[in-house]
Amino acid sequence: MAAQLRPDKTFYPSPRLAMAGPRERYGFVATLCPNADRPDAIVVVDLDPESPHYATVVHRIDMPNVGDELHHFGWNACSSMLGPQSCHPFVTRRYLIVPGLRSSRLHIIDTHPSPTEARLVRTIEADELAERTGYSRPHTIHCGPEGVYVSALGGMGAEGADGPAGIFLMDCDSLDILGQWEIERGDQELHYDFWWHIAHDIAITSEWGKPPLFEQGLVPEALLAHRYGHRIHFWDLAARRLRQTIDLGAQHQMALEVRPAHDPREQYGFVGVVIDTTSLAASVWTWYREGDVFQIEKTIEIPAVPAAADQLPELLKGFEAVPPLVTDIDLSLDDRYLYVACWGTGELRQYDVSDPRAPCHNGTIEIGGIATHRPHSNGQAFGGGPQMVEISRDGRRVYVTNSLYSSWDDQFYPDGVPGVAIKADIADDGTMQLDPAFCVDFGPNYRAHQIRLDGGDCSTESFAFP
């Protein structure tokens, strides 16, 4: 009986203890079929360099339908379960919740007893999600002490444009949908990412756009009319009430990934902005608390790169430049390094953010890119650019995939984005080097989006203790 009451061994009270834990052995990758003639799949990749199957696919779970557009996904439980406010101290990190962003389905994958035996055990259909929450287009999964939080990018109606988007809750044991999270949302209407300063009872949310503005690709007229999201919101996490909104300025279109500090004592974090319509630059902003309110300032700006029109897709020919398109950022568990994916220019940038309001550019890996198409250092082709980023718990390895969203891939990379996952090794001084042996090719019929690491990673874990 006593053994059953021990917390999951993959939960850690603090970032430092998580960094000292065992190395990841498997990665779960969302792969999607862009023309929807076969099901999307979660594939399991061997991450153990001592294994004879290193950097290969060792298992596959096909979805039961076509056209899901698997995107972001996450665990039913994580280290936040060790917090003193947790209602579920003995739940285990067992299930992956995998949304179909286009289909509005939720897929439940059981990873026990082993990732190589993972299997689909339940599918929640779009009509059940709509009935219980009033939302559609589920997107980001975060496990919290009260249950599983899921962001939804759409409201009701066939296009998901009726009513606001937001967050809903799922039970972390039964995985049933409980209902809409917000009690008082003010004028918040758009949604994208969310996370929290969990010890301070603060949630942070960001904005992309309503489904008609992203499902068929970027809508240039909407971009120039500043109809995509450009605000971030701060919420009372327990009361589920909006307490403050900060507008970054309408020209700063698509404020996407939010990455709060992992140290639970801190109240600062970073948000990536895809594009400035006045210059095509991308940016990263740092928020911080000052008294009773949050402030924010632009701390990183990455300029567009000039390019000849014949090097560019139709969408960009008139600009004769490649926008960086910051589509993902990730923060190491020690809150030292911020990794910034520039999907357009084909760069993985690393910044030392020991001083979060004065980041220092520490290095860049160049691969792919709209105008450059740079191959891997081992000579293997790489379509697209660095897109989703995941960091190992010890900060020594950074895993990267190359697809953004099928319709956007087609606009910016009309020659195609065959699915690939790569890995960079990180030295003591932060120097990055691509691992020549790790370049996982998922084939021409699948694109690769997010990767999750067994035992947790830097964009899943919230900690209760410094």
| Tens-digit pLDDT profile for residues 295-327 | 999 999 999 999 999 999 999 999 999 999 999
Q: What is the pLDDT of residue 444?
A: 82
Q: Strands across the sheet with 241-247, in order?
A: 194-197, 202-205, 231-236, 241-247
pLDDT above 70: residue 254: yes
Pairing label, strands 252-260, 268-276: antiparallel
Q: Percentage of the chain with pLDDT > 90?
A: 94
Q: What is the pLDDT of residue 62?
A: 98
- Point out the least confidently predicted range of 85-99, 371-385, 429-443: 85-99
Query: Which of the two residues, 273 and 87, has the higher pLDDT score?
Result: 273
Mean pLDDT computed over 378-387: 97
CA distances from 120 to 59, 95, 110 (A): 12, 10, 6
pLDDT above 50: residue 2: no
**Comparing C-alpha atoms, which of 191, 65, 180 is closest to residue 125?**
65
| pLDDT tens column, 118-174 | 999 999 999 999 999 999 999 999 998 889 999 999 999 999 999 999 999 999 889
**Comparing C-alpha atoms, which of 211, 238, 206, 234 is closest to residue 222?**
211
Mean pLDDT computed over 22-28: 98
* 220 band by pLDDT with thresholds 50, 70 and 90: very high
Rounded to a whole number of angstroms, the distance between the first and last alpha carbons of the chain is 30
* 3 band by pLDDT with thresholds 50, 70 and 90: very low
pLDDT above 80: residue 6: no
Instruction: State both tokens at 451.
Output: 């990767």
For residues 91 and 8, give the distance between their C-alpha atoms in angstroms, rounded to a whole number. Answer: 7
- What is the number of other CB atoms lying within 10 angstroms of the CB of residue 335? 20
Handedness of CA 322, 359, 195, 116 (dihedral sign): positive
Pairing label, strands 194-197, 202-205: antiparallel
Helix (H, G, I), strand (E, B), or coil: what is residue 221? helix
Q: What are phi and psi of 444, to 5 degrees?
A: -70, -15
pLDDT above 60: residue 1: no
* 426 band by pLDDT with thresholds 50, 70 and 90: very high
Q: Domains of the chain, with CATH numbers? A: 2-453 (2.130.10.10)
pLDDT above 60: residue 109: yes
| pLDDT tens column, 160-211 | 999 999 999 999 889 999 999 999 999 999 999 999 999 999 999 999 999 9
Instruction: State both tokens at 91.
Output: 């739940």
Mean pLDDT computed over 115-119: 98
